[in-house]
Chain A
Amino acid sequence: MAYLTNSEQDIKEMLKVIGVDDFEDIVKNIPEALRFRGELDLPAAESEFGVQRVGASLAAKNQLFTSFLGGGAYDHYIPAVVSEIASRPEFYTSYTPYQPEVSQGNLQSMYEFQSQICTLTGMDVTNASMYEAGSALAEAVLLAVSHTRLKKVLLPETLNYRYKQIIKTYTANLDIELIDIPAADFIIDTNALQEAFTDDTAALIVQHPNYYGFLENMETAAALCENKKALLIHVYDPVSLGVLKTPGAFGADIAVAEGQALGNAQNFGGPYAGLFSVTNKLVRKMPGRLSGVTTDMDGKRGFVLTLQTREQHIRREKATSNICTNSGLLTLTAAVYLASLGKKGIQDAAQLCTQKAHYLAEKLFEIDGIEPVSDAPFFKEFTIALPQPAEQVIAKALRYQIFAGISLKKVGYPNHLLVAVTEKRTKEEMDSYLSMIKEIIK
């Protein structure tokens, strides 16, 4: 059988060393009533060649069309160098750096990742990742509540509804009050926001660009938080920070993002990496691992996991979070991506997204029947109103081999379509999209 190294002859000799005649002698303390004596109802073992065919036939049942899908996962280009490095077994077959002397590769790349995300976001400290954006945001809520010792958290309607659902699940059994903030024209209704702030508000979450793609009135939101001494939790798009003002510049206390866009594949929803940054005042309460600089016995620079007393393996029920395994390999990918693009490339990527998204939006609004839904500016994603249910348009678009966007029916707008444009979309693809939409809605 595959992957079993020792032969039956080896096993026989090993049993002799152990001092038993038979394997059953080792497990005889397991009560017979608990033993599984049947045959597992699983397929028979395949050969590697056989399983390759199984994999290929499943893969063939999936379709890859020109994608205008976003909503938290984006079709950005992944440079070849990124996939090459991430597929090195030196990285992917290692584990959490419990022994720093033989984990300097991982620890240093964690440190570099943390630093890169800090310069991107303007935040003081970034951990070495959470699972993905939604659950990272839920942990940000827990951190804000524990830091302020207040229990009200403001949750705007313009936040990705998936993230909202996760926060609701995480806080269902905790003494935390979630206050919904309505939207006006698909951005936060600032009047309603102002009214919702009270002296016991722990934090406000602002997603910017928001779920509908639009940019929020960040200055107003930040000023309100400042005024009421509430924490500002800023959910951002890492690629957008090639052009947009940073969470740090807006005075965010916690910044959270989905790291998928940084060189990680869409992979049908995971694995992704939650980016989690804080200001210095929150560092000792933040969840997740941190790699820090130190020196070895000979005075040589090296890296170790630091501030581990926050973590579950030391603090157990008093830990700031239960997170253990995180998204190590995806932070490596993000670090290689950011190093490859560099100072210029991240600006170029953000510029390309902005220009292309605006090209497509402007041309769409020239089509009879397509309406803009907000005057708010946007980055690479925007919402349009269609003259018919978005689901119908999406279904018809499959015939053109195009994924037209995401229907907003789930959040109460059946005729609205969320459209994302990354740097990968060419003029030709966008022009095909435009003529397709014209044909479908005429």
Chain B
Amino acid sequence: MYTKLIFELSHEGRVGHVLPQLDIPAQPLDSLIPKNLLRETPADLPQVAENEVVRHYINLSNLNHHVDKAFYPLGSCTMKYNPKINEQIAALEPFVLLHPEQPESSAQGALELMYDLQEYLLELSGFSGISLQPAAGAHGELVGLMLIQKYHQMKGRRRNTILVPDSAHGTNPASARIAGFTNVRTIPSDIRGRVDMDELRAAMNEDVAAIMLTNPSTLGIFEDQIMEIRTLMDSVDALMYMDGANMNALFGIVRPGDMGFDVMHLNLHKSFSTPHGGGGPGSGPVAVNNKLKDFLPVPLVVKTDKGYAFSENLPNSIGRVQSFAGNFGIFVRAYVYIRMIGREGFPKIARHSIINANYLRKRLSEAYDTGYDAPTMHEFVLSAEKQKNKGAKALDIAKRLLDFGIHPPTVYFPLIVKEAMMIEPTETESREMLDYFADTLLTIDKEIEQNPDVLHNAPVNTPVRRLDEAGAARSLDVNYYKK
């Protein structure tokens, strides 16, 4: 395996990229900037030639699992295929080189694309107002919760409680706290994997600002009590937030706005096929109904007689949440995807992703506990509790999957399922790939019966084997220059 650090390739005097010569007379630096503001020793950056840089990163790239290589069924992350045309169009110079503050008249194509994207996302989600500004899903949640704060403030009251089901993503409670809600109350799930209505009723009071729901939930189950939950929330004028991480299951089947939600975020890097970039960038637009429309972050993109423009004309806006108008490079990719899929295509995405998930679940039910007795949407959660009793935990199964060239599902989440393995195949995987995955998990189950140590020692076919995470935290080395 490739083991060099870029710093270990460095040799005094080597240069990679060569900058142009100065084409004006040079002046002494300290005649331009006073000495006390100048750096005394240069940054000790590596000194490597260009081909060394290229080889270094190509070698590193080979150590990664990625969607273009093989199956990546990470639950709730929607690791679908990232179409190449998205990348090609997003790389066009008249998009890439645009400055965010160049005059609007010189960026009409970009503004038109953003305006149309706003309209498309509103149509798909069933809402009436949208901001493209949030940079990721968690950022969108934060904005949604700030809008909810504003809603109650405008009604002259302060509310502190946000209700979050126990199956929620960790970002939900964290976002609620950062948005200033001091009481995040967890609502347990019932035996059907849905919100326990008795618990919810017991939690209702005049301090409840909103409930945050993921629908379908992280268990892959459609929350069918939405109308009852809506009535409960209306009884105290509380709002309903939808975490849109699982929107892929809903396209053309239901629209969150029609269902009674007041606000949601969409992850363009999940349902809308933009790549995950090794951990970002994403994009998390927030869509709202009329109750919250006036509070959206500015700027919004509007259509005027003179063309497309940014508008900050929203007196009750919560303000700005990032420096410019959002992750434009991601908008281009999502826009291209929507145009490729078209009006007839979206319902098919939901249909195929749901069928793929149910097919896998059925095949795996032979050996694994498939949990709640309800049909699944686009993802499902297995419990490896049976396997644990036989001698290998969910973590061991995950590590063994790596030996077969498959990225494991999300493990130990949601927290309410013991030895959870959360599987989202997406609509872009073939039946053969699903079969390979199912066969592999069934083989692994047999391995546990025969010799669980095979799992305890896994992985053996990866660039490195199991890593000492506790040791990494104990003797912290996160900076080469300060070990």
Contacts and interface: CB of A to CB of B under 8 A. Distances in A.
A37 to B, nearest CB: 10
Nearest to B375: A26
A58 B319 contact: no
26 contacts: A2-B341, A4-B427, A5-B430, A45-B340, A59-B92, A62-B95, A62-B98, A62-B107, A67-B102, A90-B62, A94-B277, A95-B77, A95-B279, A131-B281, A166-B320, A168-B319, A169-B318, A173-B180, A244-B39, A271-B135, A294-B471, A296-B468, A325-B276, A327-B280, A336-B57, A430-B24
B110 interface: yes
Nearest to B162: A317
A343 B481 CA distance: 14
Contacts of B72: 95
B292 to A, nearest CB: 15
Interface stretch (A46-54, A183-191, A193-201): A46-54
Contact of B37 (A40, A89, A377): A377
Interface in A27-66: 27-31, 33-36, 39-46, 48, 50-52, 54-65
A328 interface: yes
A46 B83 CA distance: 14
B325 A306 contact: no
B343 interface: yes
B184 interface: yes
Contact of A243 (B38, B174, B352): B38
Contacts of B47: 342-344
The winner among B53, B92, B142, B173 for most chain A CB atoms within 10 A is B53
A359 interface: yes
A27 B350 CA distance: 11
Interface string A1-38: 11111100011011101110001011111110111100
B321 A94 contact: no
Given A5-B428, A94-B65, A119 B278 contact: no
B208 to A, nearest CB: 16
Most buried by B among A51, A129, A245, A314: A51
A394 B481 contact: no
Interface stretch (B26-34, B196-204, B381-389, B440-448): B26-34
B478 A398 contact: no
Interface in B358-384: 358-359, 362-363, 374-375, 377
A46 B410 contact: no
A345 B19 CA distance: 7
Nearest to B312: A410
A133 B323 CA distance: 7
B305 interface: no
Given A36-B253, A268-B107, 10 more contacts: A11-B352, A55-B89, A91-B278, A94-B278, A132-B323, A169-B321, A245-B36, A245-B40, A295-B468, A296-B467
Interface string B1-12: 101011100100
A25 B376 CA distance: 11
Interface string B50-87: 10011011101111111111001010010111110101
B109 A354 contact: no
Contacts of A63: 94, 102, 106-107
B431 interface: yes
Interface stretch (A73-81, A224-232, A364-372, A432-440): A73-81
B103 A11 contact: no
Contacts of B347: 40
Contacts of B338: 42
A374 interface: no
Chain B interface size band reads 35 or more
A267 B328 contact: yes
Nearest to A48: B85
B477 A292 contact: yes
B155 interface: no
A130 to B, nearest CB: 9
B279 A18 contact: no
Given A4-B349, A166-B322, A329-B277, A345 B480 contact: no
Contacts of B107: 62-63, 268
B98 A64 contact: yes
Contact of B280 (A61, A129, A314): A129
A115 B375 CA distance: 48
A154 interface: no
A374 B368 CA distance: 72
Given A27-B354, A174-B180, A349-B19, A325 B323 contact: no
B112 A61 contact: yes
B34 A69 contact: no
A101 B399 contact: yes
A105 B37 contact: no
B178 interface: yes
Nearest to A245: B39
B187 interface: no
Contacts of B343: 39-45
Contacts of B318: 169, 172
Nearest to A427: B23
A109 B279 CA distance: 12
A347 interface: yes
Contacts of B91: 87
Contact of B431 (A10, A102, A218, A349): A10
B83 A354 contact: no
A158 interface: no
Nearest to B13: A344
A101 B340 contact: no
B99 interface: yes
A192 B173 CA distance: 40
B419 interface: no
A3, A64, A304, A346, most chain B CB atoms within 10 A? A3
A207 interface: no
A100 interface: yes
B279 A293 contact: no
Given A90-B68, A271-B329, A327 B477 contact: no
Contacts of B342: 42-46
A148 interface: no
B66 A94 contact: yes
